[in-house]
Amino acid sequence: MTKVWQLPIPREYRQLSEPELRVRIQAAKDALGSRLAILGHHYQQDAIIDFADFTGDSFELSRRAAEQRGVEYVVFGGVHFMAESADILTDESVRVILPDLGAGCSMADMANLDQTLDAWAQLADACPDQTVVPVTYMNSSAAIKAFVGEHGGAVCTSSNCRSVLEWALAGGAVPGHEPGRKVKVLFFPDQHLGRNTAYDMGFPLDRMVVWDPKRDLGGNDEPAVRDADFVLWKGHCSVHALFRPEHVDEARAADPDVKVIVHPECRWEVVRKADTAGSTAYIVKQVEAAPPGTSWAIGTEVHLVNRLRQQHPEQKIRVLSECQCLCTTMFRIDLPHLCWVLENLVDGTVVNEVKVDAHTRRWATVALERMLSIKGDGSPAGGRPTPIVSQAEAARAGVVD
Ligand code: 13P
Ligand code: SF4
């Protein structure tokens, strides 16, 4: 992604009170009517969710974006890679706007195209007799999505990762792949989602290698790379990395009946100790379906956990750890920025448009459309509870960040 910076918005918007901002945002929304759709990711602050026409996880919001026919503007309450995907999935005539261009994602920034091309060439040299299928998590730049689309792979989200990996292990859409040839998945950029999902599919940890883009052969020797079924890019989410296995132990010590549910961007040791793991939409569904009195410790971004606690006073809901598990970039989307972009639209000015160039768009569309055609149930374990293993086993596995 070309780095973009957010210039300070006019001071006036910073000086308005929350009630004033809400009145002006609603007025702008009313004026724009059906020309506008506002999408809000589950991690957004409540004030933004209040104005969203659609809320959801990354998969659901991509689906919603693809459905927007006839609207002129999609305002994305989320981060940059989500707005890029929305631009790719909507008609050319739809203008996608990110209220604060500084709302990026540190995980998405952990893989760039030059590193990807380099890794691809090294893998081709090391494994000329194998089919390598590239799969990228939604949380990546449009350039990586396009690379994946052009090389027979697909995008996945945490909702359908397992189904996309099953598709990839059958050869994906790699031209010339023949049944019987060994298939290897190159998974960008979240090693944890890749590892957690592959492990739940039955692949032991020694079938996976981590690819550090700063080192030759990703820091591996050639036999290890050749042998592996999964090459996991060395990236992670700095928010979910804050959850640690001892937080699960502490939650269980405090309440033996607690159910621990975590996002699969959490480390493997945390996911193994949890009762279950899944995308944000999966977490929401599990809480909604639980009987009154259920006690939860939830390992994901704090805004979603707090919202679930407010919506379900009949349940005991807490965040898995008291760490500051807040996505600071998502948090940049606030009422002043929303008000500023909407009032500009009312005046006929498009600010903060996110636009993907034609070549990138072409191949990223292929990868995203493959993703939309492959549904999952939101859990890397396919909805089954994940078996709980001891900390000693996790330590023996020697999983690294
Ligand atoms: P999902 O929306 O797929 O659950 O992903 C969570 C996330 O980290 C988004 O950035
Ligand atoms: Fe990126 Fe993690 Fe924030 Fe999601 S929660 S946008 S993966 S930093």
pLDDT in tens, 21-63: 999 999 999 999 999 999 999 999 999 999 999 999 998 999 9
Same structural domain for residues 322 and 333? Answer: no
* pLDDT per residue as tens digits for the range 158-215: 989 999 999 999 999 999 999 999 999 999 999 999 999 999 999 999 999 999 999 9
- Residue 279, ligand 1, Cβ within 6 A: yes
Domain total for the chain?
3
Entry pTM: 0.92
In a domain, 129, yes or no: yes
- Residue 400 in this model has a pLDDT that exceeds 90: no
* pLDDT per residue as tens digits for the range 300-331: 999 999 999 999 999 999 999 988 899 999 99
Higher per-residue pLDDT: 6 or 18: 18
For residue 22, count CB atoms less than 10 angstroms from its CB and return exposed for 0-12, middle for 13-18, buried for 19 or more.
Answer: middle
Same structural domain for residues 258 and 312? Answer: yes
Q: What is the pLDDT of residue 59?
A: 86
- Residue 325, ligand 2, Cβ within 6 A: no
Q: How far is the CA of 349 from the centre of ligand 1 (A)?
A: 30
Nearest-atom index, ligand 1, CA of 139:
10
CATH assignment at residue 23: 3.40.50.10800
In a domain, 349, yes or no: yes
Same structural domain for residues 233 and 261? Answer: no
In a domain, 289, yes or no: yes
Residue 41 identity: H
* Cβ–Cβ under 8 Å, residues 127 and 225: yes
For 392, the token pair is 């000693």
Q: How far is the CA of 239 from the centre of ligand 2 (A)?
A: 7
In a domain, 386, yes or no: no
**Domain assignment of residue 263, given as a range:** 240-326
- Residue 139, ligand 1, Cβ within 6 A: yes
Same structural domain for residues 233 and 251? Answer: no
Same structural domain for residues 68 and 96? Answer: yes
In a domain, 391, yes or no: no
Q: What is the pLDDT of residue 392?
A: 41
Q: How far is CA 381 from CA 46, 160, 237, 394, in A?
A: 30, 11, 20, 18
In a domain, 392, yes or no: no
Q: What percentage of the chain has pLDDT greater than the value 90?
A: 88
Q: What is the pLDDT of residue 382?
A: 46
Q: What is the pLDDT of residue 4?
A: 63
Residue nearest to atom 7 of ligand 2 (CA): 237
Q: What is the pLDDT of residue 386?
A: 41
Residue nearest to atom 9 of ligand 1 (CA): 58
Q: Whole-number mean pLDDT of the chain?
A: 93
The pair phi, psi for residue 92, each rounded to 5°, is -55, -30
Q: Which residue has the tokens 């050749």?
A: 226
Q: Pick the ligand that lies closest to the CA of residue 106.
A: 2
pLDDT band at 377 (very low <50, low <70, confident <90, very high): low
Q: Pick the ligand that lies closest to the CA of residue 332.
A: 2
Nearest-atom index, ligand 2, CA of 79:
6
In a domain, 5, yes or no: no
Same structural domain for residues 38 and 131? Answer: no
* Cβ–Cβ under 8 Å, residues 88 and 143: no
